Structure 1
Amino acid sequence: MSSVELDLRRLGPAEAPLRSQLEPVATAGRLVVRGPVAGLSGALAALLKAGRTAEVPVAWEPAADKASTALARALGIGSGEPRDLGLVRDDHGGVLLHHGRLEASGDGRRSLSRRLGLQAYHDDIKVADGEITRIDVRPDWTAVDTIAVTVMTQPLRPIRQTSGRALQVASDPARIVRDGVPYVRPVDRWTWYADDRVRWRLDP
């Protein structure tokens, strides 16, 4: 199997790669992804669907935006040896590398002024029960199979932060954003979890 290079540098904000752009991923022997976080997330989701995350080394040439720069720093892009990393997944077939958000359904504008009712558990801890403003989720690259969760109940009020493996949410219709890309429709149930059965190989 040959090396496959995906040039996704033209992806716009809030834009995911097209299925046609990701077709070569399933048969790649090595993968090079150029572009923003959403491009790398899409490529890893395609590898996951093909059941080949542990087999295919992935190199990433990040874009210059803030999210890409932050993730590249967290992953140690440009330094170190190839290594196997955990993967944060959701129950709708996606992966999360940098930042996920759950908020009231809408177009995302003035999101802090809207609230939604939900119940959320981070592992066995109830982190929300009632109306909140939003939940933010970030993979913790300094730990193994861990996600950090932040619950904002109201703007300018103290937030609640927890660390664990899985977040499960049941809610009013909610908007999901995965690595900058909105999910295609509102949801009333969502799970993000660090899958300890899956690894992907980063070639930094």
Structure 2
Amino acid sequence: MDVARFDLRGLAPGQGPSRRHVASVVDAAEGTLVVQGPVQALAAVLARLWKSDRLPAVTVGWEPVDGDADCRGLARDLGLGTGTPRELCLVRDDHGGVLLHHGRIESAAPGRALAARFGAQAHHDDARVADGRITRIEARPRWDVADQLTVAVVTVPLRRPGRTTGRALQVACDPARVVRDGVPLDREVQRWTWYADDRVRWRLQP
């Protein structure tokens, strides 16, 4: 089986890879593609494979970067280095992105995003999880069960967040900033969705 390596270890924290660069490599890959780099590199490759209708035909391996806490956490959750190739769910958003480890929606106010509050209404499946002013919403895919993500809503800084588990998070809010796996979206949003797409699987080479 053909194995290609895609080296994205030079990405800086908070930086996503060039879409054109990702497409030039991913679209030519066959068999197994090993992604070398941080979490956002793996997410960009999976997003391109989905957009080009190549999931799960291309098996994906991952070589995370050393010394990165998000890489360590996701590698642990995925059971990297153990087991046999397996198919996993894909958590997507309605802007074409993929979420692997940690997503956040926060105030777009400059300078104080982690402490500033903003108005939001959010539903996690049928449960209303936010209705009023909040500090942030966090979402994490679950890798121990299929088609689920955990959502935490922080209403006041330093207060314990409320947590729920379900398939889809839908948010309507004041202008807000979205951060996907450490990379800020390049524009503010007033609506956002993250959902575990039960129609799509990607194949991991652990």
Q: Structure 1 length as normaliser, TM-score?
A: 0.96
| Residue of structure 2 in register with 1:68 after alignment | 71
Deviations 1:40-67 (A, max 9, x none): 0000011011011110000000012000
| Residue of structure 2 in register with 1:102 after alignment | 105
| Residue of structure 2 in register with 1:27 after alignment | 28
Return the letter of the residue paired with 1:62: P
The one of 94, 117, 120 aligned to 1:118? 120
Change (3 A) 1:124 1:96: same
Q: Distance in 2 between matches of 1:10 and 1:129?
A: 41
The one of 174, 193, 202 aligned to 1:191? 193
Percent identity of paired positions between Structure 1 and Structure 2: 57
Return the letter of the residue paired with 2:55: T
- Contact conserved, 2:135 with 2:156, CA < 8 A, in 1? yes
Structure 2 runs not aligned, ≥5 long: none
1:2 shift after superposition: 4.5
Which secondary structure state, in structure 1, belongs to the residue aligned with residue 192 of structure 2?
strand
Which secondary structure state, in structure 2, belongs to the residue aligned with residue 113 of structure 1?
coil
Which secondary structure state, in structure 2, belongs to the residue aligned with residue 128 of structure 1?
strand
Q: Distance in 2 between matches of 1:20 and 1:119?
A: 35
Which secondary structure state, in structure 1, belongs to the residue aligned with residue 203 of structure 2?
strand
Which secondary structure state, in structure 1, belongs to the residue aligned with residue 80 of structure 2?
coil
- Equivalenced residues, count: 203
| Residue of structure 2 in register with 1:56 after alignment | 58
| Residue of structure 2 in register with 1:86 after alignment | 89
| Residue of structure 2 in register with 1:5 after alignment | 5
Q: Distance in 1 between matches of 2:171 and 2:55?
A: 27
Change (3 A) 1:4 1:21: farther
Does 2:177 correspond to 1:175?
yes
- Contact conserved, 2:121 with 2:171, CA < 8 A, in 1? yes
Return the letter of the residue paired with 2:119: G
Runs of 4+ in 1 over 6 A off after TM superposition: none
Which range moves more in the overlay, 26-35 or 92-101? 26-35
Change (3 A) 1:158 1:19: closer
1:194 shift after superposition: 0.1
Q: Distance in 1 between matches of 2:69 and 2:109?
A: 24
- Contact conserved, 1:87 with 1:195, CA < 8 A, in 2? yes
Which secondary structure state, in structure 2, belongs to the residue aligned with residue 47 of structure 1?
helix
Cα RMSD, aligned residues only: 1.2
| Residue of structure 2 in register with 1:202 after alignment | 204
Return the letter of the residue paired with 1:57: T
